Chains A and B, each alone.
Chain A
């Protein structure tokens, strides 16, 4: 159709002939769409990170935590009894221990020491890069040995090869510990960055910490389908056998954690989307303002067109197409900038995760803004009286 082509051609001509005005108008939308992409992308990235670390626990794992203020907790000796609860396959108590870690003159500041049992390695699916894993004999003997996370190899053993590190010793609070194994890189998981952690036998922690009660446990169940029943059994056990008040402990399954996570994710997305949405509306108002100015400026043109036989719809469509092109163009540039800046942030270590749905939604919302904020000026133009319009200069 000749009409469609010429409407698009003239809309583009008008946008190009007012370069500064058009680009400033678009800037509002570019910033709006860019913030949608960035905020949603960063929000998504953060929650995806946490979710994937929850998932790394594997299904069929329960997390038991007991508040440190509780009068009674589990002692290491009671773990064997605890294991007798139906459907429990393995139990991994763990404890964070503080201590200065050093090797010769090098001291590592950001690392932590975790005391645990061999089951912990299984439940968290940790893999060895060199050496051997923690063993039950280490536990029995309270051996001064350790496994170190992957990042620590760089911090403590600058130039050594991984396989040469095994057998060397480091010092924790001035005491010597032999490195028996190096773990592969896993990234941050459940608030613990394993790569920066030194794992020692649970019983060895008594040299570093006087309080040896257990506050955190991972429990692996044998039958995943009965996980909720097992959860109740554990709760019963904690209350009846150990007299821990229900205010002081929590037993959470991975499912309930994922549920909470997805709740957080939804709230976060809504919040960020809302903020970005406001900036989009502001951009839209800018578009409307410019289109109203444009209608006033082109009153004479509208009069001429009407005298030549343009119907209301023709004028309406012409102005609508113009605001639509402005918005879609701004939206496209905004999506491009959003992804670009997101990718740069990713290089600097931020997690940024954008789905094609979000891109499509932001693209469509820019078109919707073009329509919504363009309709009033276009309608105003369409219903101009041709005689008065022709009379204006």
Chain B
């Protein structure tokens, strides 16, 4: 389902070329729950941006759902992102002026769904993450854990191929983190493909497969 072949990505920083991803190969099958673990500066974010189509590769090939992503235009990338990828961020990234329900509706709206339809779907997913009673609450009226649940509902509402979670528990206490990881496990059991990026080994261990990243290179397994 996801295939990274010899992917390279580098940046120029202070006149020096930095290889954020160096010949990376990664294959993720449908229904897998993979965690990518690595320290900061290891290329995690770059990998996440490439997988999430926010960025394009310099060299190599990225195949998503049998489609080679290459030289795609900004708008095409947006469209694929909208249909196939669900993002979950460390700091939730909810839109502050929209209530929980409206936040979940946003990706559905960009897909062109009618208001009534998207409302119905959004409500269903809010209930699924256990926030059915709080659909009218604004993000600042919700706790961190609740906000992240809204973000998860927003990510899965569009029925994406993969969920990309970037440090989803980074801003939460251990009890809430634990509850959230259970939610991820449940979603995975229902067949949802999940790629989770973290620097926390305890979080990473909840996934079925662990990939380590260091200095732009990828290694299978927990330990080198």
Contact = CB atoms under 8 A, between A and B. Distances in A.
Contacts of A3: 109-110, 112
Interface of chain B, helix or strand or loop or mixed? helix
B142 interface: no
Interface string B115-136: 1111000000000000000000
Interface string A351-393: 0000000000000000000000000000000000011001000
Contacts of B98: 10
B196 to A, nearest CB: 17
Interface string A291-323: 000000000110011111111111000000000
B52 interface: yes
Given A5-B115, A387-B55, A308 B49 contact: no
A17 B87 CA distance: 28
A311 B95 contact: no
B49 A387 contact: yes
B115 A6 contact: yes
B155 to A, nearest CB: 9
Q: Which of A5, A308, A311 has the most CB of B within 10 A?
A: A308
A311 B75 contact: yes
B8 to A, nearest CB: 17
A305 B106 contact: yes
A305 B87 CA distance: 11
Contacts of B75: 311-313
Given A307-B87, A310-B78, A311-B75, A6 B109 contact: yes
A13 B95 CA distance: 12
A309 B110 contact: yes
A17 B75 CA distance: 30
Q: Which of B94, B111, B116 has the most CB of A within 10 A?
A: B111
Interface in B128-164: 154, 158
Nearest to B74: A312
A300 B92 CA distance: 12
Interface in A193-230: none
B54 interface: yes
B175 interface: no
Contacts of A307: 52, 54, 81, 87, 93
Contacts of B79: 309, 311
28 contacts: A2-B113, A2-B115, A2-B117, A2-B118, A6-B109, A10-B97, A13-B97, A14-B97, A301-B95, A304-B95, A305-B106, A305-B110, A306-B78, A307-B81, A308-B82, A308-B107, A308-B110, A309-B78, A309-B83, A309-B158, A310-B82, A311-B74, A312-B74, A312-B75, A386-B54, A387-B54, A387-B55, A390-B54
Interface of A: 1-3, 5-6, 10, 13-14, 17, 300-301, 304-314, 386-387, 390
Interface of B: 49, 52, 54-55, 74-75, 78-79, 81-83, 87, 89, 93-98, 102, 105-118, 154, 158
